[in-house]
Structure 1
Amino acid sequence: MATRKSIDECLQRCDNAIQQAQEQYTEGLRQEHYHDYDYTNALQQLEASYNEVCQLANSSNSQQREILHRKRLQLQQLQNQMILLNHDRPI
């Protein structure tokens, strides 16, 4: 059974990853990926957070699973936006 503390810590790490990824996405929109390392690192952090949420959901109760499911969807949506961002758009 997942503890409340472990869920809260996981959600905080997810929020941090989401915030960093949103910053990199916005930067990528403006600069067309001059900072690919930071962009890729943000995507990796989103993936790590996604995996952590999935793993934690296996040992959580139904209410915790619902919270984790919503966070997982948020992570997935941002991942998809970042992956689909057109890196080579014409100026």
Structure 2
Amino acid sequence: MDRTAEAAYLTAAFVIAQALAAGCVLAERSETNANALETKDSPHGGSSLPLTYAGGDADRSRYAAICESDRRPCGSSSLDVF
């Protein structure tokens, strides 16, 4: 498994390929939840960012400034909001 998958990051190409293989049809794409500040190289992946802060206080202010992962809006009250 590659580093991005281990960190719970799946590329759009991977997800689209899996969906197409399952018989889905891609109608359109959107960058609505894209966050250019998230570089996807945090030691705990997206869990380094709010709400989780998996690294504790290490670089917490840096991750707070990034605010959100591509998959979870900042301010979400639940970790299952994608």
Check whether TM > 0.5: no
TM-score (norm 2): 0.29
| Greater RCO (Cα-Cα under 8 Å, separation 6 or more) | 1
Choose 1 or 2 for highest CA Rg: 1
